[in-house]
Chains A and B, each alone.
Chain A
Amino acid sequence: EDKVVQSPLSLVVHEGDTVTLNCSYEVTNFRSLLWYKQEKKAPTFLFMLTSSGIEKKSGRLSSILDKKELFSILNITATQTGDSAVYLCAVGNYGGSQGNLIFGKGTKLSVKP
């Protein structure tokens, strides 16, 4: 069965720290890897990665994909309390009993002032 594993499951840092969240996957028919941020509501889309080695950036967030080693990282620099959330990694495939997106369990990030 396809799976997506995120680590760590939870993380506590202080404002200004830099964090790295990990996502590894074993998915047949890989199409893309997506990162979402979930606060106490719906997951909001952050990035979609399809090619190895090309970094995507949005402000203090960045992400990169390694299709050879089957993992991705999400970096957040100069963290702020507003970054506190669950970060979800999802791998897109071409459908099946697990759907088009297979999610990891998420990393809960807590940023303390």
Chain B
Amino acid sequence: KAGVTQTPRYLIKTRGQQVTLSCSPISGHRSVSWYQQTPGQGLQFLFEYFSETQRNKGNFPGRFSGRQFSNSRSEMNVSTLELGDSALYLCASSFFPPETQYFGPGTRLLVL
């Protein structure tokens, strides 16, 4: 069974731009969560989607948004990028919340 996939794997952007990251969950999984990982803060929860509905949202500014499609694939968007947004963005999927989450390889975003 294929694992969680994320695209792109690496991304370089400049301040002020916006970016869209994509996540395809494990087949059959309907819940997708997004995390931001930085050396100083560790893994921080961004948001969680289940059946196209956002169930939970972390303490991030409104520049961070996401959505989930009917096939459970999810996207997250960051607008008006700041230097501090440079991080590894991880997506995780599970059958239902709150079950064991399985992580994708991540998208490494560098903001210059």
Contact = CB atoms under 8 A, between A and B. Distances in A.
Interface of A: 31-32, 34, 36, 41-45, 48, 88, 90, 92-106
B104 A42 contact: yes
Contacts of B48: 95, 99-100
> DSSP majority for the B interface?
strand
Nearest to A6: B42
B56 A97 contact: yes
Given A97-B45, A103-B43, 18 more contacts: A31-B98, A42-B105, A42-B106, A43-B43, A88-B43, A93-B98, A95-B55, A97-B56, A97-B59, A99-B45, A99-B56, A100-B33, A100-B97, A100-B98, A101-B33, A102-B45, A103-B35, A106-B42
A100 B101 contact: yes
Contacts, number: 63
A90 B106 CA distance: 18
Interface of B: 4, 33, 35, 42-43, 45, 47-48, 55-59, 90, 92, 97-98, 100-106
B97 A44 contact: no
A48 B43 contact: no
A46 to B, nearest CB: 11
Given A100-B33, A105-B42, A43 B90 contact: yes
A111 B71 CA distance: 42
Contacts of B59: 97
Contacts of B92: 101
A96 B47 CA distance: 10
5 contacts: A41-B105, A96-B56, A97-B58, A98-B45, A100-B97
Contacts of A88: 43
A49 to B, nearest CB: 11
Residue among A43, A103, A105 with the highest chain B CB neighbour number at 10 A: A43
A94 B42 contact: no
A31 B98 CA distance: 9
B106 A95 contact: no
A93 B99 CA distance: 10
